[in-house]
Amino acid sequence: MFTGTVQENILYGNEKYRDHSSEQLAEILKKADYEKLLASFDKGLDTHIATSGEGISLGQKQLIAFMRAVLREPEILILDEATANIDTVTEQLLTEILDSLPPKTTKVIIAHRLNTIKNADEIFFVNGGKITLAGSMEDAVDMLLHGKREG
C-alpha cells in the first residue's frame, strides 16, 4: 500500500487500465462483479489511503491486493491466505470472482479455511515440510477427520 486513492493502489503496475478514469474503472469493476468489494471503502475508488495503508483495515488491504492481482488477468495467480482477515460474506465474493476467472488462469491458493479451497481441482496438505496430495475436497475432509494429512 502507498499513499493515494484506492484506485491508484488497485491499478499500481497495471498498464492495461492505468489511464482509465474512476468512472471507467468503476464500470469495469461492476461488469466483473467486483463493485461489492468496494462497498467497504467510504468513498469507493476515491477513498484516500495514508502512508502504508494507515486508516484502512487489514481486510481492506487484502481486497486491494486481490483486485490488483485479478485485474492483471494473470496466467498464474498465487494467493497466500487471501481470505484470512475478511468476513465470510466477502470470502464468498472472492470465491465467486476466482471461479469466474478464465480457465487459462492457474490458481495456487494457500489457505487454512476449507471454504476458500472448496472448488479446487486438487488439494494438497503441507505439514512439517512434507507435501501430501489430498485430491478432492471430499478426500481432504476425510484425511483431516482421520488425521492422515502427513505423507
Q: Which residues of the chain have pLDDT under 50?
A: none
Q: Is residue 146 part of a domain?
A: no
User: Please, which contacts does 94-100 make with residues 24 or more away whose CB atoms are closer than 8 Å?
Assistant: 94/37, 94/66, 95/119, 96/33, 97/32, 97/33, 97/34, 97/66, 97/70, 98/70, 100/32, 100/33
The domain tally of the chain equals 1
The CATH number of residue 103's host domain is 3.40.50.300
Q: Is residue 109 part of a domain?
A: yes
Domain of 35 in residue numbering reads as 4-120
Q: Is residue 149 part of a domain?
A: no
The string of pLDDT tens digits covering residues 52-61 is 777 888 888 8
The string of pLDDT tens digits covering residues 138-151 is 998 898 888 766 65
Instruction: Supply the pTM of this predicted model.
Output: 0.78
